[in-house]
Chains A and B, each alone.
Chain A
């Protein structure tokens, strides 16, 4: 059976989460100058937990909803579309990591929204693993957060409080917090080796899905603007120079959405080509998000260059997510490491 479209239950998950996010987290929230992130809003985090967001794909015995990676991917697209903090993804990934390690209490606290988790990435030489060392970028974390990161060996959860000389830096993506901190042999609270479960690959896939949602959102913004903005006495969308840009954006968004969906199915089913499919999703979705935002800014003209227009938020978030995913070069090497299977 070849079915890449969501079934009725899956569509219901998409509609319900998109409705909730549109209501509680409209993108316009990010344009308020005093916006300090979903982080500082305890109620918001609790609300996300009540939506079942953090345990969606975690087994029921750990307090999750027992859905699969595919449903989680569909939700990640919407998180990308509404520019939710990357910590939302980090937290649901951490719930999966805790469950994989058999850590009932930790999984339960994460799913309940009591324990928050944010992403950490190496900002230079070092390694993330059972022991983490090196300078790290910490993305949108609160002081008492756990951190989630991965290296070649596997995925680790460790405490932000164990890092040294943590300091805020000015982020390119101003809608999230960004810090640098030093890890000097920090022991993982939970560590899952890559050979036990492909959790880094899962992170790559969900981030790719968020990037696909991001690419689709800027396409929609540009198209809607091209329908209402008039110059030379007509809608600018009637000019082929603009219309063809929009068509190309739609194609790129479609390629990213389809590849994220297909990879999720392949990975859920444990097929041998999952790694290559996910690497493809990472490349295609980052490219689509960055290029679509670039064009969407141009379609908006002078407005597009202002801080008021939402598109720049998507461009900056696209770069952040691309970086979190390791960047295109890493995935390109995976793609050349062996032939695509049958």
Chain B
């Protein structure tokens, strides 16, 4: 059992650190709308020019083809430099792109991949529907073949950044009579196509993170199907996760910096007794220290997952355990911030907002992409071998 970095890896870390210090965005990231999109695209473009785009993508497709450890170093250094992650480009870079690399045709690869890496446009993910959330395979967005097109009628919901996106990876129902996991098709939908109507939804954090999308006879060329018609469930689920746990290490590092900031905050602010600094309050001390211990453990879990994934076996359900643990810690940290701020937390303006807005916003983490409860089902069935839940 080892935890060491080679001289090459240390040199790599220095190179990343230097580049980030010189190139990370100076201005704060806008938290909504077109300004946020422009910020994220500009950051992707800067990474592209610097030779850092697609750090987890294979070299053959314009990525950097970095080893897992190098990817991990990249994410750790981003957290250290407080450089932003992919933001609203996350679907493009971490999901749609990798899916096209794994399952797409040569034409699809050469048409769609370069614009993702160069930071030219945003992708969104059309998976959830009003009647298909946790039960994703129950999706019903109807797609019928008409000549060399599919015609889409129906609705998606909770589609992050749909109003800012050019393309959507969309799961549609092509086989209405087949068993529900069959009869699903994975396709690329141009969000500018006639018949698409997008209604942004205001979140509890006062932003427009996600949307409803309505499809009224939207025509999508059959050449936009990735994989085969009716084989979309496999395509969607088999998406290669190139980063294989490296990103989680970065998230843990980010959490560590949030906590360090929180400790500083607790030193500066007056505590609940109105006299001593918050850090001297026993309740707050215990929570800060416990979080520190748990964040250390999260990091160790991430390293363990990375060790597993390095040996080439398919990423396992351990990642779901790390994700849940991380989500719980994030929410504990956010709540603790509010308790340190006291009544200032009631203001969204001023210093309080810096903590109150993420407190509200970060709860999406335990819902999006599979709720905490669905992830617990997955752990129970695939890691522990318990019977399917009823």
Contact = CB atoms under 8 A, between A and B. Distances in A.
Contacts of B385: 223, 227
Contacts of B381: 243
Nearest to A262: B300
A247 interface: yes
Contact of A262 (B288, B293, B303): B303
A5 B1 CA distance: 6
Interface in B354-389: 373, 375-377, 379-381, 383-389
Contacts of B346: none
Interface in A234-248: 234-235, 237-240, 243-244, 246-248
A250 B311 CA distance: 23
Contacts of B300: 4, 255, 258-259, 261-263
Interface string B267-300: 0000000000001000001101110111011111
B260 A2 contact: no
Given A2-B306, A2-B310, A332-B285, A251 B324 contact: yes
Nearest to A244: B376
A280 B292 contact: yes
Interface in B304-324: 304, 306-308, 310-311, 318, 321, 324
A143 interface: no
A243 B299 CA distance: 25
A261 B3 CA distance: 11
B295 to A, nearest CB: 8
B386 A336 contact: no
Contacts of B387: 227, 234-235, 237-238
B262 to A, nearest CB: 12
B214 interface: no
B256 interface: yes
A340 to B, nearest CB: 7
B2 interface: yes
B390 interface: yes
A295 interface: no
Given A223-B386, A283-B290, A3 B1 contact: yes
Interface size class of B (residues with CB under 8 A): 35 or more
A164 to B, nearest CB: 36
A279 interface: yes
B373 A240 contact: yes
A175 B352 CA distance: 53
A263 to B, nearest CB: 8
Nearest to B264: A339
A328 B288 CA distance: 13
B61 interface: no
A255 B377 contact: no
Nearest to B381: A243
B96 interface: no
Contact of A4 (B286, B303, B321, B377): B303
B335 interface: no
Most buried by B among A6, A235, A247, A259: A247
What is the interface of chain B mostly: helix, strand, loop, or mixed? Answer: helix
Contacts of B290: 283, 328, 332
B301 interface: yes
B13 to A, nearest CB: 10
B325 interface: yes
Contacts of B306: 2, 4
B69 interface: yes
A254 B303 contact: no
Given A280-B292, A283-B293, A239 B389 contact: yes
B307 A4 contact: yes
Contact of A340 (B69, B292, B298, B324): B292
Given A254-B301, A335-B292, A5 B3 contact: no
A237 B386 contact: yes
B389 A335 contact: no
A117 interface: no
A333 interface: yes
Contact of B3 (A7, A239, A254, A265): A265
A254 B390 contact: no
A227 B250 CA distance: 36
B377 A240 contact: yes
A238 B388 contact: yes
A256 interface: yes
A283 B377 CA distance: 27
B285 A1 contact: no
B4 interface: yes
Given A240-B376, A244-B380, A259-B297, A332 B286 contact: yes
B377 to A, nearest CB: 7
A250 B379 contact: yes
B2 A1 contact: yes
A339 B390 CA distance: 46
Given A246-B384, A250-B384, A258 B303 contact: yes
A261 B300 CA distance: 8
Nearest to A70: B1
A223 B380 CA distance: 9
A239 B390 contact: yes
Interface string A272-291: 00001101110110000000
B343 interface: no
B37 to A, nearest CB: 34
B289 A2 contact: no
A115 interface: no
Contact of B307 (A2, A234, A277, A331): A2
B49 interface: no
Given A247-B379, A251-B379, 7 more contacts: A223-B386, A235-B386, A251-B325, A258-B297, A284-B297, A332-B285, A336-B279
Interface of A: 1-7, 10, 70, 223, 226-227, 234-235, 237-240, 243-244, 246-248, 250-251, 254-256, 258-259, 261-266, 269, 276-277, 279-281, 283-284, 328-329, 331-333, 335-336, 339-340
The 9 closest A-B CB pairs, nearest first, are A332-B289, A262-B300, A280-B296, A280-B293, A243-B380, A237-B386, A258-B300, A247-B379, A283-B293
Interface of B: 1-4, 6, 69, 72, 256, 260, 263, 279, 285-286, 288-290, 292-294, 296-301, 303-304, 306-308, 310-311, 318, 321, 324-325, 373, 375-377, 379-381, 383-390
26 contacts: A1-B4, A3-B307, A4-B303, A4-B307, A5-B304, A5-B308, A6-B1, A235-B387, A238-B387, A244-B373, A247-B375, A247-B380, A251-B324, A254-B321, A255-B294, A255-B300, A261-B1, A262-B296, A262-B304, A264-B1, A284-B293, A328-B290, A332-B293, A335-B293, A336-B279, A336-B289
